């Protein structure tokens, strides 16, 4: 049974979860929706479904890509053709790092949604995850246009982020979990700001995508803060920054 077939089986396996068809790279897969009557097992299988779709299915954005506006404004110009081979390689590497960040964001929100028992936070994490899916789709599309590839280590990045997010949600409880979201988004926003300064000047498409991602990350941090986030200890913030540095350095190349 192929991966996508297994994903469909996961949906059929659960009569208690509400299901909807979701187009994928090949055939169709079941997307498990949140349901107030879902058991812990239902939520676990939903988290597994999230992981499989993030890592193996083509992501589909709910919002148009920011670069679509650029294409409309430059009807006769293919915005990628203005870049040199060196610029394309640089942009592809930077967008691969951003794509890894979105893979980790999917893992983070999925794990924290699994860890919390608060329906309000589950809905908030779900909403943020859907916006991060847009980022995942936009960055993957842009990488393909630039002739690059996504990180070969995505399963490792996802597993690490999921474990960390679940631990924060389960053992740190909701305020600490929300604090983790705030600090993550703050660090991601700074990282995206640095990428805006490093992207080639003529790569307007990648710049537009990163700029929109930056706005969304700021909003996610503000939402988590309003929901009752607890500030993390400085030592943990530093450790998170060091871990992110390792990830971005490796993902830039692999």
**Does residue 210 contact residue 115 with C-beta atoms inside 8 Å?**
no
> Residue 203 gets which letter from DSSP?
-
Residue 93 is encoded by which pair of tokens? 């590497």
* pTM for the whole structure: 0.79
The three-state secondary structure class of 27 is coil
Degrees (nearest 5) of the Cα angle 59, 64, 70?
125
The predicted pLDDT at position 76 comes to 47
Domains of the chain: 1-58 (no CATH), 65-251 (1.20.1260.10)
Outline where DSSP puts E strands in the chain.
18-23, 28-33
Residues 98 and 192: their CA atoms lie apart, in Å, by: 8
pLDDT < 50: residue spans in the chain: 1-33, 76-77
Counting every residue, how long is the chain? Answer: 254
The predicted pLDDT at position 12 comes to 42
Degrees (nearest 5) of the Cα angle 220, 221, 223?
65
* Buried/exposed code over 124-150 (b: 16+ C-beta within 10 A; e: otherwise): bbeebbebbbbbbbbbbbbbebbebeb
Q: Which of these, 4, 189, 45, 32, lies nearest to 126 by C-alpha position?
A: 32
The predicted pLDDT at position 26 comes to 40
């Amino acid at each position: 049974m192929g991966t996508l077939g297994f994903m469909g089986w996961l949906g059929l396996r659960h009569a208690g979860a509400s299901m909807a068809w979701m187009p994928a790279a090949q055939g169709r897969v079941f997307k498990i929706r949140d349901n107030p009557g879902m058991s812990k097992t239902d939520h676990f299988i939903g988290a597994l479904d999230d992981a499989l779709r993030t890592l193996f299915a083509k992501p589909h954005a709910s919002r148009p890509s920011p670069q679509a506006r650029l294409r409309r404004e430059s009807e006769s110009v293919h915005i990628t053709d203005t870049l040199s081979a060196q610029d394309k390689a640089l942009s592809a590497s930077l967008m691969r790092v951003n794509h890894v960040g979105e893979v980790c964001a999917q893992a983070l929100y999925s794990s924290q949604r699994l860890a919390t028992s608060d329906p309000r936070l589950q809905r908030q994490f779900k909403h943020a995850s859907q916006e991060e899916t847009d980022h995942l789709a936009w960055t993957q599309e842009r990488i393909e246009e630039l002739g690059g590839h996504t990180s070969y280590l995505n399963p490792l990045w996802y597993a690490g982020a999921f474990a960390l997010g679940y631990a924060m949600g389960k053992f740190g409880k909701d305020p600490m979990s929300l604090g983790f979201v705030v600090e993550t988004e703050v660090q991601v926003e700074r990282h995206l700001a640095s990428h805006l300064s490093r992207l080639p000047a003529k790569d307007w498409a990648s710049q537009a995508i990163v700029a929109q991602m930056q706005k969304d990350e700021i909003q996610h941090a503000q939402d988590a803060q309003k929901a009752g986030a607890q500030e993390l200890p400085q030592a943990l913030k530093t450790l998170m920054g060091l871990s992110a540095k390792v990830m971005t350095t490796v993902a830039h190349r692999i």
